[in-house]
Structure formats: C-alpha cells, structure tokens
Amino acid sequence: MASFVIAVDGPAASGKGTIATRLGRELGLPVLDTGLLYRAVGVLTAQAGGNPDDEAAAGATATRLTADLLADPALRTRTAGELASRVAVHRKVRERLLGFQRTFAAQPGGAVLDGRDIGTVICPDAPAKLYVTATPEIRAERRWKQLEGQGEAVAYADVLADIRRRDARDGARDAAPMVAAPDATLLDTTEMTIEQAADAARRIVEAARARWERSH
C-alpha cells in the first residue's frame, strides 16, 4: 500500500508544528519537522566559521548533515531560525536535503512532515495537505511566548520584525518558495486556540484519508 503522507506547510509560528505533532500522535505516524534540517545547516555553517549566505559553504554543511544532529536545543533559538531562513534560499542546500525528507516520507504506513515546501516540492503527491496561516502579529505573539518559555528574553517588536523578514525571504526566494500547494486546504488559526486548530486539522485529514482509502 502507498504511504499516507500528511504535508503541513505554512509560515513561522502559524501552529503547523504543534498540529503536525498532534496528528502524528493521534494517527501513530512519525513526524519530521523539516525546519530543523535548515536550522541545523545554518547553525553548523556559522559554527564552522562559514558564511550562511554563501551557497558553497552552506551546501557543504548540508552534505554532512545527519539525523542525530537534529535534537540539539540550540536549533530552537531565534538566531537559528534566522540562519535557517538564510541558508534555505540556496538550491544546493535544498537539493541535498531532499533525499532525507523523501526517504522519511516513504516509510510504510505514512508520515507527517511540516515545513514550507512539503506539499509543493518534497511530496507533491501527498494525499493530505494543509497550509496553516495566521496574521504576523498573532504569530509573533506566540513565538515571543515560546522564546520566553525557553528563557530567551526578547522584545515583542523584534520578534514581529523577525517574522516579517522571514516571511518575505521565504516567500520571495526562487528555490521552492513558501506558497500553498493548489490542492492544499487552508487553515487560518488566527482566531483559534491550539485545541481548535488541532481539531480542524484532524477533520481535514480524516476527510483526506477517507478519499485516499476509497482510491487505494
């Protein structure tokens, strides 16, 4: 049987990570936060003294990336998010991370992947696709609270500026820009609690699963 892949795309702090984690837990599917791959490439490139804006330097790091490097809490910081967005513009980086993501998606039974280009580039045939959004202001508020919880003190206005800058860079790049797949279901979580967003996502996926099972 083909694997049931759930693609959860959307901008930073839209709720896609929490939604992906919950869907994975409820359906018993493995989850890959693909942002961590770009975060790791960004952080490791900078740590090695390389320039994240240099395609060759970031591309070389992407070749060396292994799954065990993804658990580092340093990848969750604000700096790591910015570095990730910078290395993510490079085609070489994206190409080198493609195989890892597709192998993960091809696991028997299926998988959940969250990111920016899962439904468009990594798994264009995924039977379930969500594009999760929220206003920049509400996303900044969520990210600000999350950073505070991690002990990273930062002004709300700076987090909002980060979010806007990353949205602009991720959406405007030539290589796999952040965009909703034409067949993705849009889920705007601006006015939703996380419980409501997770419930809405579950209903979308249940409907997609029923369609998929009829055709397999």
Tell me which residues touch ligand DC (CB under 6 A). Answer: 12, 34-35, 38-39, 81, 84-85, 88, 115-117, 166, 170
Output 88 or 204, the one with its CB closest to ligand DC.
Answer: 88
At residue 104, what is the residue type?
F
Smallest separation, CB 20 to ligand DC (Å): 10
Decide the pairing of beta strands 185-188 and 4-9: unpaired
Q: How far is CA 177 from CA 9, 41, 117, 169, in A?
A: 11, 18, 7, 9
Q: How far is the CB of 135 from ligand DC (least distance, A)?
A: 17
Q: Minimum Å distance from CB 11 to ligand DC?
A: 8
Q: Which is nearer to ligand DC, 83 or 204 (CB)?
A: 83
Which is nearer to ligand DC, 32 or 60 (by Cβ)?
32
For residue 108, the minimal CB distance to ligand DC (Å) is: 23
**What is the full DSSP assignment across 17-78?**
HHHHHHHHHHHT--EEETHHHHHHHHHHHHHTT--TT-HHHHHHHHHH--GGGGG-GGGGSH
Which residue, 74 or 207, has its beta carbon nearer to ligand DC? 74
Helix-then-strand count for the chain, H and E: 8, 5
